[in-house]
Amino acid sequence: MRLTHRSTGEKIALTTTGTESHPFTGPLLWSPDSQKLLAIQTERAEKRVVHFVESSPKDQLQPILRDMEYVKPGDPLDHPRPRLFDISARKAIPIEETLFPNPWRLSDYRWDADSARFTFLYNQRGHEVLRLVAVDAETGHAITLVDETPETFVCYSSKAFHRDLEDTNEILWMSERSGWNHLYLFHREWGGLKHVVTQGDWVVRKVAHVDTEARELTLEVGGIYPDQDPYHVHHMRVGFDGKGIVMLTEADGSHELNYSPSREVYIDTYSRVDAPPVTALHRTRDGALLLTLETADISHLKETGWQAPERFVAKGRDGKTDIYGIIHKPTHFNPNKRYPVIERIYAGPHDAHVPKRFSARGSEMAELGFIVVQIDGMGTSQRSKAFHDVCWQNIGDAGFPDRVRWIRAAAETRPWMDITRVGIYGGSAGGQNAMRALIAHHDFYDVAVADCGCHDNRMDKIWWNEQWMGYPLGEHYIESSNMEQAHRLEGKLMLIVGELDRNVDPASTMQVVNALVKADKDFDLLVMPGVGHGAAAHPYAKRRQQDFFVRHLWQTEPRQP
């Protein structure tokens, strides 16, 4: 790597170690005093390329071979390393690397204002270590400022936040170390804990605003009110020291705030799946209600026969934990009839997925004469760390022990739910889940439609799967694989896949097909030419999916279009 002196034009060679396989890839960060330079040198890894065929191009007869770079779990990764240079001495300063040996990513490089050191965030491959590292600019000696080393995983994709407060020599840091997602204040110089900012059996979902002058945070939180649905989003303000909490929302629902330019007032819009939006004006200082601006009128909607989703809570597999979900009924609902039950599933561990806000849209599937349910079982996010940890190296679980108990509990007091006829459908992670129902829980589920499923976590994109299944690969990947477990399948299965899926390798579905053929299992397969991820949303695929449930749960041949 060479530099050019701006005044003299002199060429300065700092290093000759950069090669095609170990290039300097950036960023280049000068220390504030311009005496040191931080560069990143990356050991390149060969990238996997996935190939697939576009069978029916719009502009030609012959098929086209497509490809894309697509890194999968277990694949080798680029290995970035920080390199430090003393400009006046024209030499490299070796950096100790023992604190960051196997990075998934190095990020958030930052020099201190006095140029004495730089810091960066180390996310270890497998996501069991998240570490804020500081490196001395004179010696290259590295120390840990803040460390997350849970027994399972760090949810870096949605529960990682830190803010460098150099003026006050502090660091704001998000962590689940208490068993709940909260915020902490650390000493910036050496990393010791200064204050617990938030605490309790509830979670911080987002840091919405940081006011360094007032030393206050505005947060989105969940589970703050024990008598409400813990997935409802509420808003609060709290001091950096954990004191002076002001609740900005209170009403039973999920809230969205819109502040005035001065932030002196805000508009709060809140709703539930069974309660239409209310919009109100509040004072920011104390959260006081100033004026209710609007309450949505849904009387005309009800006149159409629209049925609000019913909220329901039942105990999960442990007999103690509340599991939350909703029940959709058709507009022509008759409580004296019995309806087959279909679960719409998406158990991706990156979030919770049951709707919480009001929508005038009903369930298309329910209109065909089904009761449709949606449930957030254990292993999904936005609850306690223990609730989330069920997914760790165990995506195949998909919360089914909780889901089955929930549906059974709902049917106990709703005789119109016929749980002798139960279907399930989902796409992507939900596709994996839907097929898994007929592998591991075919004593309860009878019919499944799996769209674009990431059926084997070794076949899918690296970031999502190693986040929850870990690294290195092991037997747990095989246990969660629908392909490896296909011989256990019982029931009626439809597989849907888009041949041009760039999100989930379409070969994942075809490998499941191969396994089912080898196991002599009957199934339906729909390959959608020219269609990408989410193929079941295509009008033709949607009709085929609906017909599949009508045919196998109602034992009725659907009317043809």
Q: What is the pLDDT of residues 301-334, one digit of tens each?
A: 999 999 999 999 999 999 999 999 999 999 999 9
Per-residue pLDDT band for 27 (boundaries 50, 70, 90) equals: confident
pLDDT in the model for residue 6: 64
pLDDT in the model for residue 393: 98
Write out the E strands in 337-391.
Answer: 339-344, 371-376
Q: What is the mean pLDDT of the chain?
A: 96
Per-residue pLDDT band for 16 (boundaries 50, 70, 90) equals: confident
Q: Is 465 exposed, middle or buried (0-12, 13-18, 19+ CB in 10 A)?
A: buried
Cα four-point dihedral sign 527, 528, 534, 536? negative
Q: Does pLDDT of 8 surpass 70?
A: no
pLDDT in the model for residue 7: 63
Can you tell me the distance from the alpha carbon of 321 to that of 330, in angstroms, rounded to the nearest whole number? Answer: 30
Over residues 69-88, the mean pLDDT reads: 97
524-528 and 492-498 as β-strands: parallel, antiparallel, unpaired? parallel
From residue 451, give the alpha-carbon distance in Å to each of 342, 459, 479, 517, 533: 15, 16, 21, 18, 9
Cα 141 vs. chain centroid, distance in angstroms?
A: 35
Share of the chain above pLDDT 70, in %: 98
Structurally, what CATH architecture does the domain formed by 304-553 represent? Answer: 3-Layer(aba) Sandwich (3.40)
Per-residue pLDDT band for 11 (boundaries 50, 70, 90) equals: confident
Q: Global pTM?
A: 0.96
Can you tell me the distance from the alpha carbon of 483 to that of 521, in angstroms, rounded to the nearest whole number? Answer: 12
Can you tell me the distance from the alpha carbon of 352 to that of 394, in angstroms, rounded to the nearest whole number? Answer: 17
The answer to whether 518 and 473 have CB atoms below 8 angstroms apart is no
Provide DSSP, 169-191. TEEEEEE-TTSS-EEEEEETTT-
R_g over Cα of the chain:
27
pLDDT in tens, 506-529: 999 999 999 999 999 999 999 999
| 526 membership: H or E segment, kind and range | strand 524-528
pLDDT in the model for residue 26: 78
| 16 membership: H or E segment, kind and range | none
275-283 and 216-222 as β-strands: parallel, antiparallel, unpaired? unpaired
Per-residue pLDDT band for 560 (boundaries 50, 70, 90) equals: confident
From residue 506, give the alpha-carbon distance in Å to each of 32, 438, 516: 49, 21, 16
Instruction: Provide the terminal-to-terminal Cα distance of the chain, rounded to the nearest Å.
Output: 67
pLDDT in tens, 48-65: 999 999 999 999 999 999
pLDDT in the model for residue 15: 85
Per-residue pLDDT band for 12 (boundaries 50, 70, 90) equals: confident
Per-residue pLDDT band for 10 (boundaries 50, 70, 90) equals: low
In eight-state DSSP terms, residue 111 is: E
pLDDT in the model for residue 433: 98
